[in-house]
């Protein structure tokens, strides 16, 4: 065999290997897109905050790692299953048309199997750790999949409330794992997440209102109007401040396990700023301010969870 022939064969083999790895990378990318990693990570921070406010000075690193694995699997699996149920409406919306199931990058059966395995894994780990922890996670998955996605999303703009309740389950689950039960403080923390949802979801629904109309999904802005949605967001942000401050204030004072006053003050200041932005958006509405509110909402959620966690640890 000539040197030229060997070089040609080597080049062909290398090209085939590169093509194979490219397909594998594309496949992995599609599966990663099924879990909405940024949204999942944000919810995981709420779970950590819930747990560490319950056990600020006696947290078990192993328990934290298992909790995160359980929450990650359950949340990711639920998100993947949501994409299976929503594939028809996702395909009609410009914003979501490239999602893996809607675009055909991952088949519905493959995504359902992937999501089902993850949810089962998450619930299995949770049940092994703590029955109450497992019940809260299972409730969150059921509310998200069955009540929000399957029952209400295509029927009522009030679906956002039930979607918000499911979003509050990770922080409630983290605290329940830490203390072994669901308590009033955990419910307050879950309420702080629920009242964050309107600023996150309704601003997006206003930006892509035509998409939602085309897909036949009744959102609050498209059914009740943009002005009503802006007032709803402002009201929710006001309630969120109250829930966060009350939760921080009511953390157990015994043995010094209370939220540090600086953290409590920063929670109040940042919450007031968020409320002010939402009131400004309601008074002087604009597409630019609306999108800014959407972006700031996620940053504020992350910041408030960090402040609660650090405040409990200090």
Q: What is the pLDDT along the chain (314 residues), one digit of tens a residue?
A: 566 655 455 556 555 565 666 666 778 888 999 999 889 999 999 999 999 989 988 889 999 999 999 999 999 999 999 999 999 999 999 999 999 999 999 999 999 999 999 999 999 999 999 999 999 999 999 999 999 999 999 999 999 888 889 999 999 999 999 999 999 999 999 999 999 999 999 999 999 999 999 999 999 999 999 999 999 999 999 999 999 888 888 875 334 444 567 777 888 889 899 999 999 999 999 989 998 999 999 999 999 998 888 877 77
3-class SS letters over 96-119 = CCCCHHHHCCCCHHHHHHHHHHHH
* Pairwise CA distance, residues 227 & 181, whole Å: 40
pTM for this predicted structure? 0.90
CB crowding 275-310: b at 16 or more within 10 Å, else e = bebbbbbbeeeeeebbeebbebbeebbebbbebbbb
For the record, the structure tokens of 67 come out as 């909790």
In this predicted structure, what is the pLDDT of residue 11?
A: 57
- Torsion-angle region of residue 59: left (phi > 0), alpha (psi -120 to 50) or beta? beta
In this predicted structure, what is the pLDDT of residue 265?
A: 80
In this structure, are residues 192 and 67 in contact, taking their beta carbons and an 8 Å threshold? no
* Pairwise CA distance, residues 312 & 296, whole Å: 24
In this structure, are residues 175 and 186 in contact, taking their beta carbons and an 8 Å threshold? yes
To 10 degrees, the CA torsion angle through 264, 257, 126, 45? 30
- Tell which residue, 273, 261, 279, has the closest CA to residue 300: 273
Which domains are present in the chain?
A: 34-313 (1.10.357.140)
* Pairwise CA distance, residues 179 & 98, whole Å: 42
For the record, the structure tokens of 19 come out as 């093509």
- Tell which residue, 147, 126, 151, 150, has the closest CA to residue 74: 126
């Amino acid at each position: 065999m000539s040197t030229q022939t060997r070089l040609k064969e080597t080049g062909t083999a290398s090209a085939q290997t590169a093509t194979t790895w490219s397909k594998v990378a594309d496949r992995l990318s599609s599966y990663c897109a099924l879990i909405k990693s940024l949204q999942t990570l944000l919810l995981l921070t709420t779970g950590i905050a819930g747990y560490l406010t319950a056990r600020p000075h006696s947290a078990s690193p192993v328990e934290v790692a298992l909790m995160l694995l359980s929450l990650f699997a359950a949340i990711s699996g639920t998100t993947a299953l949501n994409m299976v149920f929503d594939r028809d409406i996702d395909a009609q919306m410009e914003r979501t048309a490239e999602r893996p199931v809607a675009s055909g990058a991952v088949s519905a059966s493959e995504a359902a199997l992937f999501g089902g395995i993850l949810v089962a894994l998450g619930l299995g780990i949770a049940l092994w750790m703590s029955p109450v922890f497992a019940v809260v996670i299972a409730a969150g998955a059921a509310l998200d999949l069955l009540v929000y996605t399957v029952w209400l999303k295509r029927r009522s703009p009030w679906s956002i409330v039930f979607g918000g309740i499911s979003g509050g389950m990770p922080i409630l689950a983290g605290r329940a794992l830490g203390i072994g039960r669901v308590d009033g403080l955990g419910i307050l923390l879950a309420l702080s997440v629920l009242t964050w949802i309107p600023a996150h979801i309704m601003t997006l629904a206003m930006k892509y209102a035509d998409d939602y109309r085309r897909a036949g999904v009744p959102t609050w802005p498209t059914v009740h109007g943009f002005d009503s949605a802006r007032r709803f967001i402002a009201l929710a942000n006001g309630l969120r401040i109250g829930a966060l401050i009350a939760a921080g204030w009511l953390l157990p004072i015994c043995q010094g396990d209370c939220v540090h006053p600086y953290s409590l003050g920063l929670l109040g200041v940042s919450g007031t700023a968020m409320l002010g932005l939402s009131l400004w958006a309601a008074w002087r509405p604009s597409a630019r301010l609306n999108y800014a509110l959407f972006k700031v909402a996620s940053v504020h959620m992350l910041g408030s969870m960090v402040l609660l966690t650090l405040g409990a640890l200090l």
